[in-house]
Structure 1
């Protein structure tokens, strides 16, 4: 985990294009990503499940292991709520990720009580330590995404939760949906943890995010959603006319794709 943790030191904004399978992860690594994160939504859809804890945990771990297999940079897995309400079970699930070569996870509170996420964090850290291992836990709070506090009170609620999660052993704080400069500045100043924000309408440009002290910037599910739209348009054209349309002219060449996965020697 140590190398992955150093990528959050603030010297440079850690930009994470979120992958959904081994192929997309390897592609993003080849383009210069210093670490890869997954999108739970993209992973779930690619496996034929809805997002929001519908993906069976064995599937989630298998996808993560397959992604880790093709990467040389650190991998952080969006692990939703840990796929259990039992902190000890969540810890066992995460230990399987560690054993698969995963360097970090996102773990979210959603509509659950913050105390439950704190208990999960503590259980993960304790079990990992017993095994002589560790993992970077980026705690995601959905205060903004789910409107869990009234406008004007969200920063205070985020910081209240951040203190609880930090005490439990969290390594980072993810606040998807936060966009306003003053609110980002306040969270960065008060969180006591490296702060992660997500690409979102109205979010400041990356240069400004870095100046504000944000440590990590995620693409979320946006890339996978865009590609689903492209695939849908091309398939519609093919089914209607037998022609996949003008987008086929921009397709990545077969040889370039093949080269991502052919190992020399």
Structure 2
């Protein structure tokens, strides 16, 4: 069994989700800045889970950002990590260039260019709501924004992007522009075939996680983030997705409890 899970706002959480330090552990720093946390209970459950099944961290983070998470460099060392939203796979910490080359080829063949996306976005961009723009691992781009000032015209831009095989996802202060072929599920499926494993459980909170969640045999979503806001509870009835009762940093504990429960059932 594979457990492929998103990280930020699914298993790990920023300081704004931490109201009380009791039972919480710091798992990522950037210089002297404290970045991400998990509950000690969730860490204990994840350790136990990763000893029994193939746990794969799956994230939109760049390779560098993923490597900042001390938990996955010291306490839990996954064989695989899917980073760059599926554009890169790390095997025992090293880049799988065969997979990256496949994805780079697909971007050129199936999607409009970064330059075209940039040119179109410049038509609606202003310093009133866009703070800066970055390219991540030469696979997708994102902006740091003021979400409260996002203009209505952005939604027309999103429609144009979707017509040209790109996805747009707004997660807090980050606005992501991602080629459709740079996909968490495609990378998960590649590992699934490589390891010859049939059953995949997954967890995630954003629309960038949705293809992975829909294709998994079992999926868990916390009651916050883009998926919950878009579909709310009704989504349970049309997809193989379960929402947790807990939200915020404590949702991770419930997600891991539900996944661990699958091990004790025939799958």
TM-score (norm 1): 0.31
Larger proportion of strand: 2
Larger proportion of helix: 1
TM-score (norm 2): 0.31
